[in-house]
Structure 1
Amino acid sequence: MRTVYINEFGGPENLAVRNVPEPYPPQGREILVQVAYAGINRADVLQRKGLYPPPAGFDPRRPGLEFAGSVVECGGNVTSFRPGDFVCGITSGEAQSEFIAIDERLAINAAELTQEAAAAIPEAYITAHDALITQAKAVVGDFILIHAIASGVGLAAAELALSVGCQVIGTTRSEQKAEALTGVGGPFYEKGVGILVLKDGPAFSDRLHEMTNGRGADVVIDLVGGDYFPDDLLSAASKGRIMLIGLTAGRRAEFDMGIALSKRLTIRGTVLRSRSIEEKALALDSFRHQMLQKFSSDPPQLRPFIDKVFALEDVAEAHRYIEGDHNIGKVLLKL
């Protein structure tokens, strides 16, 4: 079968499409899926560079955290699916392949979704739902600050926040992206989402407090890290919750503990990839029960924003596209 393969850790030019053996027949609770589309995430870019290896048991040279496709075979203990079912799901690696074998608990029946939509949902929406709803416990009327709001997880977090009655403020470094998000035809057109364009670095707390009439953000979804974090502390409301999800701006920052104490802040780091199957299954089940039906309602209450679809052979170009910060929403590979 064909799979995306990292020949050497480094630049996009080191990506290739190789033929490797198909997975063994599924055992126990495993299902074998023929992949139609696979998502590309920042984590794949980091893995390509050798900076974010997968957990034990996954080939570090084969990226891919999410997929959508058809079940072709089931292990003897599978109870949720049968051959022919269309599913989407999450994994810790190797999803950018023609076939993948995964535990049935990490897949969702996606029969009512288009193939592209199904592939764009798992990693972004499960991550965002787990951070925003399950852990930060966002409620109606909360102000939610979302960094890198034009990213896949950023857009998912914003849509989920709006769907439960929160008010959303996002940050981006691009005026063009801000206009694309809130202008006519954009996903947040006439939805009251405020966008802060950060031209001169991450200084946003003063403007954030102006937009919230001095209250601050009840929840901060930080997909950037680094020198954004000091202003996260300043931006947070009393008893605010700061969720650290991404570190694209670096893993170190100055931490004024006095602010955290005086505001009684909750600061929590979260990651989906390295969790156990049981923990991932809980996050997936919670998302499925609370949110999945909103994608197939009439009209849809949630709609994944897909920026661009690349052919499998163009995976290096897709990585350059993401690294150039061109995408608004999800980038997919078509297998």
Structure 2
Amino acid sequence: MKAVFYQGSGGPEVIEVREVQPPAPKPGEVIVDVVAAGLNRADVQQRRGVYPPPPGASDIPGLEVSGRISALGEEVTGWQIGDEVCALLAGGGYAEQVAVPAGQLMTVPEGVDLVTAAALPEVTATIFSNLFMAAGVQAGESVLIHGGSGGIGTMAVQMVRAFGGLPMVTAGSQAKLDVVRPLGAQVLINYKEEDFVAKVKEATGGRGADVILDVVGAKYLQRNLDALATSGRLVVIGLQGGAKAELNLGQLMAKRAAVIGTTLRSRPVEEKSAIVRAVMTHVWPLVASGDITAQVGRTYPLDSAAEAHEYFDSGEHIGKILLTTAAA
């Protein structure tokens, strides 16, 4: 089968497509013939050498796919060969076949085509586990979403709005803000021209954001804390702006606030399986009704993975980027 590998660390030039032996299912796993795979920032960070796969995971990048089950391992129940699925992975998605723990399989939501379904597992699992399971977002609460026009951001805006929250977003251009406005973003902040702390305070009557979803990390830590409301929760899921910064504990305590740092990729299969079940229970009906939609910006053939990464690195992308196989 064809699969994508990184020849060392660096830019898109380290990407190559190789012919390798297809995987065989272990007990509790299935083999999925991949139709499409999502490109996520974690794949880019892995390519740059700063986010290696967790122990035991495939060196092949790719954290989400859609496709058809072609083989069942021992102890797998509830799934059949030929079922159309999408799946959350620890790696291995940039390939024509991938082995998936059965608990991380997801049905394709009603009304979603199989290629588009590849844009759903990572973003929905990331957002639901962080905003709703960890931070406990409630109806009526304000949620500041950094990077609002990307795959995570466009989905987070829709989910917060669908569950009764007030989505506020930052993005780096008016064109990107124009994309998230119709998705339900109610406060739009161009971080290159405006102070997001001041804009959040203005929009909330001086109170601040109840929850902040942050992909920047150290660079935004103090400003995020300034923007938090009393009893607010800052959820850090990315480190684009660095990993180390000083935290004013006095300010944190005075606000009775919390800082939550999480990753999804390295969680045990049991935890991922629980998140997947929660997403199918709470989010899939909203996708099926059309209240939440996958925002796919561009698709590329698997052989053009390097070109897809170049586009991602440009910072111009909006929504998800997908890689498709010959099975699409």
TM-score band by shorter chain is over 0.9
**1:193 corresponding residue in structure 2:** 186
2:52 corresponds to: 53
Structure 2 gap segments, 5+ residues each: none
Aligned partner of 1:265 in structure 2 is 257
In the alignment, the residues of structure 2 paired with residue 275 and residue 23 of structure 1 have an alpha-carbon distance, to the nearest angstrom, of: 22
Partner of 1:115, secondary structure, is coil
Match of 2:19? Answer: 19
Query: Are residue 105 (structure 1) and residue 108 (structure 2) matched?
Result: no
| Residue in structure 2 matching 1:310, options 300, 304, 309 | 300
- Paired residue for 2:227, among 208, 222, 235? 235
Q: Which amino acid aligns with 1:76?
A: E
Cα separation, 1, equivalents of 2:271 and 2:51: 20
- Aligned-residue sequence identity (percent) comes to 35
Give CA deviations for 1:270-325 in whole Å, capped at 9, x if unaligned. 1100000011111111111111121112xx11101111101111111111111111
Distance 1:128 1:192, change over 3 A: closer
Amino acid aligned to 2:321:
V
Partner SS for 1:79: coil
Separation (CA, whole Å) in 2 of partners of 1:232 and 1:18 = 43
User: Distance in 2 between the 1:57 and 1:260 partners?
Assistant: 37
Instruction: Measure, in 1, the Cα distance between the counterparts of 2:257 and 2:211.
Output: 10
- Aligned match of 2:73: 75
Partners of 2:31 and 2:214 in 1: CA distance: 35
Q: 1:65 aligns with which of 57, 63, 68?
A: 63
Matches within 5 A, 1:73-222: 73-110=71-108, 112=110, 113-182=112-181, 187-188=182-183, 191=184, 193-199=186-192, 203-222=195-214
Change (3 A) 1:209 1:111: closer
Distance in 2 of aligned mates of 1:237 and 1:8? 43
Amino acid corresponding to residue 306 of structure 2 in structure 1 = A
* Aligned residues between the structures: 324
Cα distance between partner residues in 1 of 2:21 and 2:186: 47
Task: Indicate conservation of the 8 Å contact 2:37/2:324, yes or no.
Answer: yes
- 1:200-227, Cα deviation, whole Å (9 max, x unpaired): 58x4211210011111100111111121
Aligned partners of 2:94 and 2:323 also within 8 Å:
yes
Specify the alignment match of 2:7 in structure 1. 7
**Residue matched to 1:321:** 311
* Paired residue type of 1:45: V
State the AA in 1 paired with 2:318: I
Distance 2:132 2:185 in 1: 20
C-alpha distance in 2, partners of 1:16/1:27? 27
* Residues 33-78 of structure 1 deviation map (CA, whole Å, 9 limit, x = unaligned): 0000000011111111111110112243x11110000001111311
State the distance in 1 between where 2:258 and 2:57 align.
33
Change (3 A) 1:192 1:28: closer
Deviations 1:220-275 (A, max 9, x none): 11111121111110111100011011111111223221210100001110110000
- What SS does the aligned partner of 2:265 have? coil
Partner Cα separation in structure 1 for residue 310 and residue 45 of structure 2:
12
SS in 2 for 1:320: helix
Distance between the aligned counterparts of 1:133 and 1:117, measured in 2?
24
Match of 1:290 among 278, 282, 292: 282
The whole-number CA distance in structure 1 between the counterparts of 2:123 and 2:50 is 20
Q: Distance in 2 between matches of 1:235 and 1:140?
A: 19
Name the CA distance, whole Å, in 2 between partners of 1:210 and 1:200: 16
Letter in 2 for 1:38: A
- Measure how far apart 1:192 and its partner are: 5.3
